[in-house]
A = this chain, B = another copy of it.
Amino acid sequence: MAVAREATPVESAEDVKQADLDSEDLLQIYRNMLITRGIEERGHILYRQGKIPGSFYTGRGNEGASVGVATAMQAMDVGTPIQRDMGVHVTRGTEPWRIFAQYMGRSDGLAAGKDGNVHMADIRLGLIAMVSHLPALMPVAVGAALAFQIRREPRVAVAWSGDGAMARGDAHEAMNLAGVRKLPVVFIVDNNQYAYSTPNRLEFACDHLADRAAAYGFEGVVVDGCDVLTVYREAHAAIEKARAGGGPTLLELVTLRMEGHAVHDDAFYVPREMLEHWKEKDPIERHRRWLKESGVLGEAVDDEITVEVKKLLNEAMKRAEESPLPDAADLDTGVYADPEELDTPHHR
């Protein structure tokens, strides 16, 4: 029995205007999706070239979901994006060269080589660095929302989880606490239909993960995660509802993970037809089409943006490769914080 609302797709330019987006916003969304995919495609190449140690994850197919939500956040809001949410980092202004440096374990990476790949974030941009243990940052995001509530600040926390990770206790405890105290937090589920090799049907037995919201006393919405404008609209509504004291919302953004769990995984367990079907729904192509049909994006501007993004990323890769590897002497620095470190803006 489905209890969540299913979001109707954004269709017209009128819809979009209502959602508070002007042409520049619409193009910025497009640009951010391109940068997001570009970073991961180039990262993948760097990985194959042996320049990225460890493992490598991409979020292909999730660009609309991640950019859409991040676009709906205000600068003062905070979030805990996960492994498929490069678009959040990009949208909030993380410089691509630092992401490449992160991938390569360089000193200028967001974790300065102490942590790798997607386990990163720039707290000055309101993002909290994920841990592997999923979804352990859901309670953390709830705690951020608690701080905002206590201080009566009009800020919102956005907590991400994958479909698979929703099975864990942390998801439950976090959503329950948020529901009980009506905290200003929005829960996003990147439902890409798989958790590594495990399909949705072995992860949960309700119709939609968004149905779970009812268990915590708030609204759940199922959204087409390939449709960045609908994602934006729903995220915007949920975030502003939270800001206004209306409590949490759970948004389930449905996509398909278009590549393996990580680069070592060829995803043989995902039916080919399914991949073909979802390829048609590609969020970037879809948005591009929409922009063109709506007259926001002409050929010339499209080319311009494409060139600009390519240039940005090529320069970023270059700059990242110039960043030094960390010094072994840094191995045991930073295990504990010093008192003066508390005097940073986010700690006031």
Q: Which residues of B lie under 8 Å from residue A216 when comparing CB positions?
A: 204-206
Residue contact A180 to B204, C-beta cutoff 8 Å:
yes
Interface flag for A167 (CB, 8 Å): yes
Q: Which residues of B lie under 8 Å from residue A241 when comparing CB positions?
A: none
Q: Which residues of B lie under 8 Å from residue A1 when comparing CB positions?
A: 3, 214
**A203 CA to B217 CA in the complex, in Å?**
11
Interface flag for A298 (CB, 8 Å): no
Residue contact A173 to B180, C-beta cutoff 8 Å:
no
Interface flag for A94 (CB, 8 Å): no
Q: Which residues of B lie under 8 Å from residue A201 when comparing CB positions?
A: 180
B205, B215, B217: which contacts A180 (Cβ < 8 A)? B205
Interface flag for A176 (CB, 8 Å): yes
Distance from A138 Cβ to chain B, minimum over Cβ atoms (Å): 11
Question: Interface residue count for A (Cβ, 8 Å)?
Answer: 27
**A212 CA to B212 CA in the complex, in Å?**
8
Residue contact B172 to A3, C-beta cutoff 8 Å:
no
Q: Which residues of B lie under 8 Å from residue A176 when comparing CB positions?
A: 167, 204-205
Residue contact B167 to A179, C-beta cutoff 8 Å:
no
Q: Which residues of B lie under 8 Å from residue A217 when comparing CB positions?
A: 204-206
Distance from A223 Cβ to chain B, minimum over Cβ atoms (Å): 18
Interface flag for A218 (CB, 8 Å): yes
- Chain B CB within 10 Å — which of A1, A173, A205 has the most? A205
Interface flag for A169 (CB, 8 Å): yes
**A171 CA to B212 CA in the complex, in Å?**
14
**A167 CA to B168 CA in the complex, in Å?**
13
Residue contact A215 to B212, C-beta cutoff 8 Å:
yes
**A189 CA to B212 CA in the complex, in Å?**
18
A179: nearest chain-B partner, CB-CB = B205
Q: Which residues of B lie under 8 Å from residue A215 when comparing CB positions?
A: 206, 211-212, 214-215
Residue contact A214 to B3, C-beta cutoff 8 Å:
yes
Q: Which residues of B lie under 8 Å from residue A218 when comparing CB positions?
A: 205
A206: nearest chain-B partner, CB-CB = B217
Q: Which residues of B lie under 8 Å from residue A211 when comparing CB positions?
A: 214-215
A178: nearest chain-B partner, CB-CB = B205
**A214 CA to B177 CA in the complex, in Å?**
19
Q: Which residues of B lie under 8 Å from residue A170 when comparing CB positions?
A: 169
- Chain B CB within 10 Å — which of A169, A173, A182 has the most? A169
Scoring A residues 192 to 232 as 1 if CB is less than 8 Å from chain B, else 0, what string do you get?
A: 00000000011111100001101111100000000000000
16 contacts between A and B (CB under 8 A): A1-B3, A3-B214, A167-B173, A168-B172, A179-B205, A179-B206, A180-B201, A180-B203, A180-B204, A204-B216, A204-B217, A205-B217, A205-B218, A211-B214, A214-B215, A215-B215
Known: A168-B172, A179-B204, A214-B215. 11 other contacts (CB 8 A): A167-B173, A167-B176, A167-B177, A176-B205, A179-B205, A179-B206, A180-B205, A182-B205, A205-B217, A205-B218, A211-B214
Which chain A residues have a beta carbon within 8 Å of chain B's beta carbons?
Answer: 1, 3, 167-173, 176-177, 179-180, 182, 201-206, 211-212, 214-218
